[in-house]
Amino acid sequence: MLSSCKKYVQFLCSLHVKNISNSTHHCFPLKPESPMNVFDRKAKSKQKERAGGMPDVEVYDYLKSEIGYRLSDRVLDVKRTFKCALDLGCSRGYVSKHIIADSVEKLIMCDTSPTYLSQASPPEEGVVVERLVVDEEDLPFESDSLDLVISNLSLHWVNDLPGTFSQIMRVLKNDGVFMASV
C-alpha cells in the first residue's frame, strides 16, 4: 500500500500543479480489524427517516415487499418453530408481515430508523413482537440467544460486513438459521 501511495505522490508531482510542493500526503495502511467506511451510516439513517415521512412511501415498496415475501417463504421451508427470531434491518416490515405463529414464536424487529420501525407491518397475531432501534454493525444481543436471523435488503449498507456476519454467528444458537437477501 505504501508503494502505491508513493507512486500516487510521484504522479501528482509530475502534473506540475502549482503549490504541489507545499502539499502534504499521508498514507497509512488500515489496521486489519478496522473496516473501510464506504457508507455514511448517519446519512443513511437520516435518509430513511426522511423517506419514512413521505406521504406516498408505499408507492416505492413493491420490490422490497416481493423480496420480503420470498424470504419469508424460505422460513416456512425450515420445518420447525423458531422460539426467537431477529429481523435485522426490518425497514417497514417487508418480511415480518408474512411471518406466521407456526414458524416463529417471538420476533425482534430491528432497524436504525425509529420511523420505519413504527410503520413496520407486524406478523400475524400470536407472534410476540419486540421493536428495537439497532445498528446492524453493533448487535446488542447475548451470545447463543437467537434461533433465526433474517435480513431483507439492508446488509448492503453495512461497512463492516465480515464483522456483522461474525456478530450474527455469535448471537445465533448452534443450530440457528441465517437467511438474507442483498
> Could you report the per-residue pLDDT of 102-143, keeping only the tens digit for each?
999 999 999 999 998 999 999 999 999 999 999 999 999 999
C-alpha cell at 65: 415487499
Amino acid found at 90 = C
pLDDT (mean) for 1-14? 53
**Residues whose CB falls within 8 Å of the CB of residue 149, separated by 6 or more in sequence, listed in order:** 85, 86, 88, 168, 171, 172, 176, 177, 178, 179
Q: Which domains does the chain have, with CATH numbers?
A: 1-30 (no CATH), 41-181 (3.40.50.150)
* CA 106 – CA 120 distance, rounded (Å): 16
Q: Is the pLDDT of residue 22 over 50?
A: no
Q: Count CB atoms within 10 A of the CB of residue 22.
A: 6
Kindly report the pTM of this predicted structure: 0.76
| In the chain, % of residues over pLDDT 90 | 63
Q: What is the pLDDT at residue 1?
A: 52
Mean pLDDT for 146-157 is 95
| Res 11: pLDDT | 54
Q: What 3-state DSSP class applies to 85?
A: strand
d(CA 30, CA 17): 28
